[in-house]
Amino acid sequence: MAPSWIRAVVAIAAFFVVVIIGLTVARFDTTVDPNLGLIAGRDTLILILGIATLVAFVAYALTEYAQTRRLESISSQFDTRTIVLIPIAIAINIILGQTVSAALKVPVYLDSIGTIVVGVLAGPIAGAITGGLANLIWTYVLPAPFHSDYAAPFFIVAVEIGLLAGVFGRLGFFRSRPNASPQRLMIAGVAVVAMLTFIVVYGYIPFYNQNGAIFFGDPNAPILFVILGWLVALLLVGAIVGLLAYLFLRRDLGAAYVFVAGVVCGIVSAVISAPISASLGGVTGSGTDFLVAAFQKGGSSLQDAVLQQGLLSDPIDKTITFFIVFAILGALSRRFVARFPQGEQAVGLAEG
């Protein structure tokens, strides 16, 4: 096993050991506050997850130091450009995420674009820190209208998204692969169209038909969010159109790689977030709440409903988000992007 994978395994093991011990010792309270829809022990859960994340990071660092007598894999991700980019990325996450939550009622989040940008350009640890900090600041620092009670409990999901974005960036999933052969392009195109069709038929049509939902859900939302909501709506539609255009017009197989990365990240995110969402009573303050309610009306238990919702919402959300980042990186100067710690692997051309 490669040294880097040994570090990762040690960190993951340390995380779960601390979580299990923490939940056992704290006798975690999963009752729901009828007024807020929040678990009574929400802050306890966040504290346990925070300590577990910190212990995992320390375990990773100690393992690397034991292997190499250095911490190069961590320190190399935090150059001046990365440190400047992180607060910008956090702001992007919060603004877009709060806009979708406040002004739109669609079963996506769009709150991890900044996290993915940092992960791809700088590395997994930088991406994880960006995601985690964004969610904690969102709940514990910012006042209304950018405050959210529901962001902090899911900070561990944001950490996971940053980690996976960094891994996929390091593996070259965000590199352009133009002029793919017709055979490979056809296979990729069929897979992408089939997945999009499944999501629309299985989730979005029932979502709107059964719940009477509309694209803009809160008519009393602040005007700022209404304006931003229209921009985000255009961004969502443009991302789907752009994904298909990259495949069929530019014949860029890189879009299919990003699609796969988004689906994988979405599935992992859904599995991690499901128990957290269930402990919140299935209420997260976003358009996905309607999907949870729809699945429950169909006979699913709360635990099953939040997992079903996650397996529907998260893959399409992460696919759209990953593609937006892919398009952004493609539009930036290659020389500029290559100056980031992991930029060389995130840009340029690769064989289709």
Is the domain of 12 the same as that of 144? Answer: no
pLDDT in tens, 278-332: 877 777 767 677 677 767 776 778 888 788 778 778 888 898 899 899 989 888 8
Checking if the pLDDT of 124 tops 90, the result is: yes
DSSP state letters, 85-135 = HHHHHHHHHHHHHHHHHHH---S-----HHHHHHHHHH-HHHHHHHHHHHH
Residue of 319, 312, 323, 282 lying closest to 106 (CA atoms): 312
Give the mean pLDDT of 113-121: 96
Residue 207 has what pLDDT? 53
Greater model confidence, 21 or 44: 21
Query: Which amino acid, residue 130?
Result: T
Instruction: Please confirm whether the linkage preceding 145 is cis (ω < 30° from 0).
Output: yes
In the three-class reduction of DSSP (H, G, I as helix; E, B as strand; rest coil), residue 349 is classed as strand
Of all residues in the chain, what percent are helix, strand and coil, respectively (each to 5)?
A: 75, 0, 25
In a domain, 125, yes or no: yes
| 208-214 contacts at long range (C-beta below 8 A, 24 or more positions apart) | 210/294, 210/297, 211/290, 211/293, 211/294, 213/105, 213/287, 213/290, 214/105
For 179, left (φ over 0), alpha (ψ -120 to 50), or beta?
left
Q: Cβ of 242: how many Cβ atoms within 10 Å?
A: 19
- Residue 21 CB partners (closer than 8 Å, separation 6+): none
Is the domain of 55 the same as that of 154? Answer: no
Whole-structure pTM value: 0.87
Is the domain of 351 the same as that of 209? Answer: yes
Query: Which amino acid, residue 82?
Result: T
- Range of the structural domain that residue 29 is part of: 1-61
Residue that is last in its domain, among 14, 31, 61: 61
* Residues 90, 137, 308: CA angle, nearest 5 degrees: 80
Cα radius of gyration (the chain): 20
Is the domain of 130 the same as that of 196? Answer: yes
Is the domain of 50 the same as that of 84? Answer: no
Residue 301 has what pLDDT? 81
Is the domain of 276 the same as that of 321? Answer: yes
